[in-house]
Every structure is written in structure tokens, then in C-alpha cells.
Amino acid sequence: MPVKIFSGSGSLELAVKIAHSYGTPLGALERKRFSDGELSVAFEESIRGEHVFLIQSTMPPAENLMELLLMIDAARRASAKYVTVVIPYFGYARQDRKDRPRVSIAAKLVANLLSAAGANRIITCDLHAGQIQGFFDIPLDHLSAISIFVPYIRNLVKTHQLNVIFASPDMGGVARARAFASYFNADMVICDKQRKRANEVAAMQVIGEPEGMDIFLIDDMVDTAGTLCKAAEVLKEKGAKSVRAICSHAILSGKAISNIENSQLEELVVTDTLPPRVENHPKITYLSVADLFAKAIRKIHDQESISTLFI
């Protein structure tokens, strides 16, 4: 059964890299807009009886999600045998529970929409919370960018002779930071933050001993960068020698770029699951997940285990 890879407009640059790494051209997809802005998509080649991979991150605006749903529906109606949806960045993942009365659980709603549209399988990377996998009633492959970050960190440690320690910018990311620390037999510290409202840190305390250490802050995403910048400031005040941040998804909204520029962070290392907000920024390094997703696509199509993609 042949493989065909298509991309939504929100992840086109990454999709081109994935298709190139896989060794096949990106499929032709037509996008049209009515005068009122309504979106329409159509496959410009036959996909009957084929395994179709649709690549699109579901970051705002919501039209990215809508475009993906239309692509899935069009593929089913065009008689694709199997539709696998590749979502490098799963948007709305932060709304994964009722943290106050009368709110929606958007992550579950998006999972339902993808299944209802006709997706057979989901491939994604570094969900905000691992339990979101349970929101899906179809198979989901949860990749981790740790296999990309660890070699990069090892090279930094070797090149600059770093005395490395890992840190979580909040209590919720402890398991993520501990996973990184395990590959280096390193210790870790925790930054315990308190918020007054979303995207605004009111106070932060450090649990552990960062003095004299080269710290890597680990998080799944960087949005306004407020938490990371505050953590870097507090860690430097506690005697840290240097602070770098490792984040899978570079949302970088609002004043994120200026926050990073004026922060104590020496470097922010991210992946290209989202389109880059800036090019050649002195403090921001992009690593590509294209090869990781291309390998996952090949193994899934060949019905092989993807466990070898993890370190």
C-alpha cells in the first residue's frame, strides 16, 4: 500500500522536511477560500486505497484545526484506506481538565473532533500532559523530542565543560526534567511557581542547590517565556553559573522574544514543531523534528515498533 504525505498550510515548512527525509515528494493539496473567508480543501491526486499521512499542528488560530478536520474528511471521502494524522504540536493541550467551575476540557473536545472526522491514528510529540493520550479512542503514538535534545546537550557539556544539572520551572514538569537528568546521571532542582492569572508568574521559589551549576531548564512549551525568564533570574540569584532552557514547542507569543532577549537565559533550544517566529536569533536555537517524524511514519506504515525512536 503506497504512502502519500500531505500538509496543511500551518505546518508546510516542516512537512516539506519530513517528506524529504522520508524520500517522497509532498502530495498536492488545493486550498480555496470563499469571499467570506470560508475554507475548502481538495486532494489534487488520487489517494484511493492508499495510506495517507496528514501533517498539521493545531495551534491558534482555530482555522488550523478546521483545515486539518477538512483534510481528514476529504481523505475519507476520497477512499483513502488509512488516514494517519501527524500533529507535531497538539494545540489546546493546556485545557486538559476542569481547573475551575464551568470551563470546557478543550483537549478532549479536539480529540473527539479528530476521531469524528475519520482519523485512524494520531502521531504527536511531547503532549503538555501524558494523560491526554487517554482522551483518544484511536491509536496514538506519542513521540518525544528528548532523542533530539540529549545529543545536543551532550555536545554542549563536552564543548564547554559544563557542570550540568537539570531544573523544572514548575512542579508539573518534574517528571520531564527527571527524564533528562537520568541520561546524564545528574541532579535536579525545582522552581515552585505561583500564578495570579494565566501567563503571569506572581512568585517563585527554588527547591534544591543550584549554586555553581550550569542549569538546563526543561519544559514542554514556551509561550510568553515569563516562567522560564523568571526561573532563570531566580536561579542566577541562587548562584547558578549559567542557565539554558530546553523546550519542545516554541509558541513565543506576546512579548516572548523581548522577554528572552532581556533575560538571564544564555540560550533557548526549541524544535520546529511550530513555524519559527524569528530567524537567526542569537539566543534561540532551532532543532528539527523532521527525521524523527519521518522515521515514525516509515515504521508505522511498515507495521514496525517505534520504540527504537526513543533513547
Q: In angstroms, rounded to a whole number, what is the distance separating the alpha carbons of residues 125 and 146?
A: 10
pLDDT at 194 over 80: no
Q: Which range, of 77-91, 96-110, 114-128, 161-175, averages the lowest pLDDT?
A: 161-175
- Asked whether residue 172 falls in the same domain as residue 205, the answer is yes
- Band of pLDDT at residue 272, cut at 50, 70 and 90: very high
- Band of pLDDT at residue 255, cut at 50, 70 and 90: very high
- Asked whether residue 14 falls in the same domain as residue 138, the answer is yes
- Asked whether residue 165 falls in the same domain as residue 266, the answer is yes
- Asked whether residue 242 falls in the same domain as residue 305, the answer is no
Catalytic pick among 4, 193, 230, 295: 193
- Asked whether residue 138 falls in the same domain as residue 243, the answer is no
- Asked whether residue 106 falls in the same domain as residue 227, the answer is no
The pLDDT value given to residue 279 = 85
Between 1 and 209, the more confident residue is: 209
- Asked whether residue 160 falls in the same domain as residue 138, the answer is no
Q: In angstroms, rounded to a whole number, what is the distance separating the alpha carbons of residues 121 and 38?
A: 27
Domain count, the chain: 2
- Asked whether residue 66 falls in the same domain as residue 53, the answer is yes
Over residues 22-39, the mean pLDDT reads: 95
At 223, which CATH number? 3.40.50.2020
The pLDDT value given to residue 61 = 93
Tell me the residue range of the domain where 194 lies.
146-287
pLDDT at 1 over 90: no
The pLDDT value given to residue 2 = 79
- Asked whether residue 190 falls in the same domain as residue 266, the answer is yes
The residue type found at 295 is K
Could you write out the DSSP letters of every residue in the chain? Answer: --EEEEE-GGGHHHHHHHHHHHTSPPPPEEEEE-TT--EEEEESS--TT-EEEEE---PSSTHHHHHHHHHHHHHHHTT-SEEEEEESS-TTTT--S-SSTT---HHHHHHHHHHHHT-SEEEEE--SSGGGGGG-SS-EEEE-THHHHHHHHHHHHHHHT--EEEEESSGGGHHHHHHHHHTTT--EEEEEEEEEETTEEEEEEEES--TT-EEEEEEEEESSSHHHHHHHHHHHHTT-SEEEEEEEEE---TTHHHHHHTSS-SEEEEESSS--SSSS-TTEEEE--HHHHHHHHHHHHTT---GGG--
- Asked whether residue 131 falls in the same domain as residue 166, the answer is no
Over residues 291-299, the mean pLDDT reads: 97
- Asked whether residue 107 falls in the same domain as residue 187, the answer is no
Per-residue pLDDT tens digits for 97-153: 998 899 999 999 999 999 999 999 999 999 999 999 999 999 999 999 999 999 999
The pLDDT value given to residue 197 = 60
Average pLDDT, the chain: 93
Per-residue pLDDT tens digits for 100-116: 899 999 999 999 999 99
- Asked whether residue 172 falls in the same domain as residue 269, the answer is yes
The pLDDT value given to residue 75 = 98
Identify whether 193 is a catalytic site residue.
yes
